[in-house]
A and B are shown apart, each in its own frame.
Chain A
C-alpha cells in the first residue's frame, strides 16, 4: 500500500509470480490483488442460517461456502449439529430436541457457543473472511446472542432464512440427507422419518421467523419455497450483494452437467500449449464419438456451450445440435509462451518455468493469465450453469480444471493439477450435499497433456529436472 509522506515517486517493480506492479520490492501486499472479489470490505462477514430442520440450510451453507472459496473469499462453514454429534456421541431420539429437556438445552447452547468461538478463531487466526453459521437459529433470543457476539468483534452479520411449507419438498429433503445422517445410521427408513418429523415439531412451537418490522435493521435474505420468492433487506456491501445474487440463481431441480475438452488438436500432438489449431484426425473421431455418447444419454433439452476457439467449435459441430460460444471459456492465455513446447519454455524462459511450478495457481504468464485470473473470468459461466439445467460444456484443460474444482470443491493448490484427459467426458450430477462424478472415456486414443509438478521447482534446477514430467509428444 502506498504510504503518505514520501512524495518522491517510487520505482515500480513487477512481482515475478503474479506479474503485479508494486511500489517497492518486498512490498507487503496485505490485500490480494488478483482475486475476483474486490477487497473493499475489511471486516469479516458472518452468514447466519435460519430455519426449521429440513429446509435446506446445510445444503445452502455448503454450496455458498464452496462458491465463496472458489471466487477467492476464504470461507468456512460451522455446522452446530456436528458439534452436537461430537458432544453427545450417540443420538437416541427426538426427545433430545424437546424444548423442555433442560439438560439437552444446556448442551445445545454450549455447542452453539463453541461454534461461535471457532468462528472467531477462524477470522482472527486463519485469515478467514466469511463464516457460515449453520444452525436452526429459530428464536429471536438465539439470534440476539449471535448479533451481540458479532458486534463486539466487529463482524458484519447477514442472515439467510429458508422458509418452506411444501410437504413434498420437506419429505424429499429428509430422504436425501437425513436418512443417511449419522443420527439415523441404525434405524430403518420409516422409523427415521417418524423421528425426524417429531424433531421438526420440537422447533415449530418456538420458531420466530425474521420479522419484517422488528428486524428491519438487520441484513437478510428470506428464501421462500426453494426460491420461488425472496425478500431481501438492507444489503450492506459487495460480498452480501454477491451472496444474494448467487442464492437467487441456484435451484434444486435435478439435472446433469457434462464437461469435456475439445477433441485432440494438432498442437496437442506436437506438445505445444495454447494457440488456436484445429482437430487432429483422432480429435475428429472423438467428436463423432461424443455425438453418439450424448445421443445415448437421452438428455432432455441439452444446452451445448463452447469457447470461441476452433477446436471446441469443431468438436461441437459434430454433434449436429445448436450450441453457444462463450469467449469466457477460451483456454488460459499463455502470453509469450503461446504455442511453445515445454522444452522451448524451459530453454527460453527457465525462470518463468520454475516460478510456475512453484505456484501454478497464482502464476501469471508474461502478457498472459493465471489460473486465478481464469477463475475470475469463469464466474459468469458458473453463475449461468447454476441457473441452467442440462448442459454440455466443451472447453479446454485449464478451464475444465477450474470448473471441475468449483463442482467438486477442490482448493486452489489442487486445482491446476486436476486430471482432465482428452477424450473423456465427466458427468456431474448434484446429489445430497455434493456432486456425483461419472467419468466416461470414449475409447479413442489421444496424447496425454497432463504435466505433473516436478520434484525440483527451484529456479536453479537443471533442465532435466524441469522437464522430467513433460508428457510425450511428436
Chain B
C-alpha cells in the first residue's frame, strides 16, 4: 500500500522517529484547581494528533463512579479513614487500567491525572512503573494566585457532577475547603530530594518552569509543548481560500486564482473580521495564490507559511476525480480504503500533512488571536487537532468553502462557531463511497463526487 514502508522499528510506520521503546507514564502533581486535568486532556489530545497513542486516566472519575453521590469536602479530610481507603482503591484501579492500556492495548503514553501530592503516593506509582517497565515523567502545576484558582473553579468545578445540586456560593465554599484538605500533606517536587526523577514543574500558569532529567525524545516534546501553551482567552479563526478556478472545474490541487465568487468571499471576510472587533489579529496564509488573494482582500499584514500549502496530490495534481478513476483506479480505491494514511504517488498523505503542520499548531498555541486562511485537507488536520478528532474521522471533516470556523478554548475543550458568509460556492467534499474494493466499477467509485462544471 502506498505510504507503508519496509523494515520498521516501531508500530508507527510513517512516524518520523521512534518515540519510545518503552511506554511512558505521565503523572500529574498538584493541589486541586491547578489545571492538572486541563493539562492532561490537552497533552493527550496533542500526543494523539501527532501519532502517539495516548490516553488519560482521571482518578477523580474513578472516585465518582465508585462513590455515586458526592456529599461534601468531608470525603477528602485526611482523617477520613473510609474516604482514604476508597481513594487508594480508585488510584489502584486506575493504575491497573493504565497497565492494561500500555501493555495490551497498544498505548504508548498514559496520563495519570490525580493530585499525587505526597511523596509516598508518588513512590507507589514509581514502583508500579518500574515493575512494568514504564518510564515516568511528572508534571507538577504550582500556583498561588487566588484569581487564577478562582477562575479555574468557576470554569470547570462548578459544572462538575460533584456540584450539580449546589448553587455557586456553596460549591465554591465547599471546593475551597476541599483544597485545604490537601494542603497540609502537600509535598512539592523537591530540587534535592527528587533530583533523580524526570519532571517539569510549571509555576504560575507558565511564567516559570523547572525541568529535571528529560530522558528521551517524547519527554522533550512534551516539555516543549507544555512550555508553549497558555490560557489567555483568545479565538482562532479557520477558513479556506475563496472558491478557486480549479474548484469550479472539480480539479484537485494546483495553484489557481480565485473566481469572482471567491473574490467576493474575500470582501465578505474582511467585513466579517471588522464586526468581530478582534484586537491584534494575526493572519496566516499558505504560499499558494488562492489563499494569498483571499488575504489580500483583508488589507492587513499577513504571513505566508509554506507548510500551510495544500496536500500534494503528486501525479494526481490538477486532475478531476473522474480522471483519477480513469487513469489510476487502483490508487483511487486505496485512498478510499484508508484516506488518512494513503499517500498519492509522488505526493503526500494526511499523515504526512499532520507532521508538516506540527510547527503551525505549536505556534498557534503560542499566539493569541489568529486567522488561518488555508486549504481543505490542511483545515481538516488543524480542526482535528482542536476538536480531538481521530485519524479515521479527520479526512472526512466537513470544511466547506466560504465558511469561517471560530474556535474559542473553553473549559477543557473548544467552542466551535460555524459562520457561513453567504457567498455561493461549489461543494468540494467527497464522502467515502460504499464500495472501496479495488475491483469496484467506475460508477461506484464516482458515486460521491460533488457536482462541478
- Real complex partners, A and B? yes
Which residues of chain A come closer than 8 Å to B191, judged between CB atoms?
229
Report the stretch among B13-21, B61-69, B88-96 that lies at the interface.
Answer: B13-21
Judged by a CB distance under 8 angstroms, whether B263 is at the interface is yes
The 4 closest A-B pairs by CB, nearest first: A230-B211, A232-B209, A4-B299, A21-B292
Distance in angstroms between the alpha carbons of A338 and B363 in the assembled complex: 33
Can you show 11 pairs from A to B with CB atoms below 8 A apart? A9-B266, A9-B297, A12-B292, A21-B289, A21-B293, A39-B303, A231-B210, A245-B224, A322-B7, A380-B16, A387-B220
A233 touches B208 (CB 8 A): yes
Given contacts A241-B228, A324-B9, A324-B18, whether A229 and B213 have CB atoms under 8 Å apart is: yes
Judged by a CB distance under 8 angstroms, whether A253 is at the interface is no
Which residues of chain B come closer than 8 Å to A367, judged between CB atoms?
255, 317
16 further interface pairs, Cβ-Cβ under 8 Å (given A9-B296, A230-B210, A325-B6): A2-B299, A12-B292, A21-B289, A21-B293, A21-B304, A229-B212, A232-B227, A313-B5, A323-B9, A324-B9, A325-B5, A326-B17, A367-B255, A367-B317, A380-B16, A387-B217
Distance in angstroms between the alpha carbons of A328 and B293 in the assembled complex: 29
Within A1-18, which residues are at the interface with B (CB < 8 Å)?
A: 1-5, 7, 9-10, 12, 14
Judged by a CB distance under 8 angstroms, whether B306 is at the interface is yes
Within A336-367, which residues are at the interface with B (CB < 8 Å)?
A: 338, 367
B6 touches A313 (CB 8 A): yes
Which residues of chain B come closer than 8 Å to A216, judged between CB atoms?
208
Distance in angstroms between the alpha carbons of A317 and B300 in the assembled complex: 52
Distance in angstroms between the alpha carbons of A445 and B332 in the assembled complex: 42
Judged by a CB distance under 8 angstroms, whether B23 is at the interface is no
Which residues of chain B come closer than 8 Å to A102, judged between CB atoms?
none
Within B220-247, which residues are at the interface with A (CB < 8 Å)?
A: 220, 223-224, 227-228
Given contacts A12-B293, A233-B208, A324-B9, whether A228 and B213 have CB atoms under 8 Å apart is: yes
Which residues of chain A come closer than 8 Å to B301, judged between CB atoms?
1-2
Of all chain A residues, the one with the shortest Cβ separation from B303 is A38
Distance in angstroms between the alpha carbons of A238 and B220 in the assembled complex: 17
Distance in angstroms between the alpha carbons of A233 and B211 in the assembled complex: 11
B9 touches A33 (CB 8 A): no
Q: Which of A9, A233, A327, A376 contacts B207 (CB 8 A)?
A: A233
Which residues of chain B come closer than 8 Å to A1, judged between CB atoms?
301
Given contacts A9-B293, A38-B363, whether A328 and B16 have CB atoms under 8 Å apart is: yes
Q: Which of B9, B217, B263 contacts A384 (CB 8 A)?
A: B217
Distance in angstroms between the alpha carbons of A228 and B292 in the assembled complex: 45
A12 touches B304 (CB 8 A): no
Given contacts A21-B287, A324-B18, whether A2 and B296 have CB atoms under 8 Å apart is: yes
The 8 A CB mask of B273-301 against A (1 = contact, 0 = none) is: 00000000010000111001101111111
Which residues of chain B come closer than 8 Å to A234, judged between CB atoms?
207-208
- Name the distance in Å between B376's Cβ and chain A's nearest Cβ: 19
Judged by a CB distance under 8 angstroms, whether A199 is at the interface is no
Which residues of chain B come closer than 8 Å to A7, judged between CB atoms?
299
Judged by a CB distance under 8 angstroms, whether B302 is at the interface is yes
Give the total of A residues in contact with B, Cβ under 8 Å.
52
- Name the distance in Å between B110's Cβ and chain A's nearest Cβ: 23
Which residues of chain B come closer than 8 Å to A313, judged between CB atoms?
5-6
A2 touches B9 (CB 8 A): no
The 8 A CB mask of A293-330 against B (1 = contact, 0 = none) is: 00000000000000010000100010000111111100
B287 touches A327 (CB 8 A): no
Q: Which of B213, B300, B304 contacts A33 (CB 8 A)?
A: B304
Judged by a CB distance under 8 angstroms, whether A201 is at the interface is no
Distance in angstroms between the alpha carbons of A248 and B266 in the assembled complex: 43
- Name the distance in Å between A321's Cβ and chain B's nearest Cβ: 10
A12 touches B17 (CB 8 A): no
Which residues of chain B come closer than 8 Å to A4, judged between CB atoms?
299-300
Judged by a CB distance under 8 angstroms, whether A193 is at the interface is no
Judged by a CB distance under 8 angstroms, whether A107 is at the interface is no
Which residues of chain B come closer than 8 Å to A338, judged between CB atoms?
346
Judged by a CB distance under 8 angstroms, whether B70 is at the interface is no
Judged by a CB distance under 8 angstroms, whether B395 is at the interface is no
Which residues of chain B come closer than 8 Å to A376, judged between CB atoms?
306-307
Within A198-237, which residues are at the interface with B (CB < 8 Å)?
A: 216, 228-235
B7 touches A317 (CB 8 A): yes
Judged by a CB distance under 8 angstroms, whether B408 is at the interface is no
Distance in angstroms between the alpha carbons of A160 and B212 in the assembled complex: 17
B227 touches A241 (CB 8 A): yes
Which residues of chain A come closer than 8 Å to B10, judged between CB atoms?
324
Q: Which of A5, A228, A244 contacts B212 (CB 8 A)?
A: A228
- Name the distance in Å between A117's Cβ and chain B's nearest Cβ: 32
Distance in angstroms between the alpha carbons of A384 and B10 in the assembled complex: 17
Distance in angstroms between the alpha carbons of A220 and B28 in the assembled complex: 25
Judged by a CB distance under 8 angstroms, whether A373 is at the interface is yes
Which residues of chain A come closer than 8 Å to B288, judged between CB atoms?
21
Which residues of chain A come closer than 8 Å to B303, judged between CB atoms?
33, 38-40
Distance in angstroms between the alpha carbons of A387 and B214 in the assembled complex: 11
Judged by a CB distance under 8 angstroms, whether A249 is at the interface is yes
Judged by a CB distance under 8 angstroms, whether B412 is at the interface is no
Q: Which of B5, B220, B287 contacts A248 (CB 8 A)?
A: B220
Judged by a CB distance under 8 angstroms, whether B305 is at the interface is yes
Given contacts A233-B208, A238-B366, A325-B5, whether A248 and B304 have CB atoms under 8 Å apart is: no
Distance in angstroms between the alpha carbons of A367 and B287 in the assembled complex: 11
